Amino acid sequence: MPAALLWPSPVVSLLDGAPLDRPPEAIVVGLVVPFLWFLDRAFVRRRAIQALAIGLLGCKLAASAVLAAHGFCSEFRAEPPLPVSPNGWPTLC
């Protein structure tokens, strides 16, 4: 089950795997799953949990085979344009 949660995915989503760069996924992977595992050792032996882990890993593997990776940064920011004078030359002041 940890492999399914930490396996990197080419699609940016809630559980996209390592690196755990957003608070919701860090909380789920770092706190909730270990806490459930600590409370009930048979938690990972349940068929529903195993099916969810296999399904998540299968989706990530299928996405890796079909889609191109976004990399670690999925945000694009354009620089603001330079101010232009009336004659068409960029102004620096």
Q: Residue 21: inside a domain, yes or no?
A: yes
Residue 21: which of 90, 87, 88, 72 has the closest Cα?
A: 72
Strand partners, 63: none
CA distance 40 to 34: 10
Q: Residue 92: inside a domain, yes or no?
A: no
Give the number of domains in the chain. 1
Which residue ranges in the chain fall short of pLDDT 70? 1, 69-78, 80, 92-93
C-beta separation of 90 from 47 below 8 A: no
- pTM above threshold 0.85: no
In the block, tokens 């949990």 appear at 49
pLDDT of residue 15: 74
Residue 9: which of 17, 53, 71 has the closest Cα?
A: 17
Q: Residue 53: inside a domain, yes or no?
A: yes
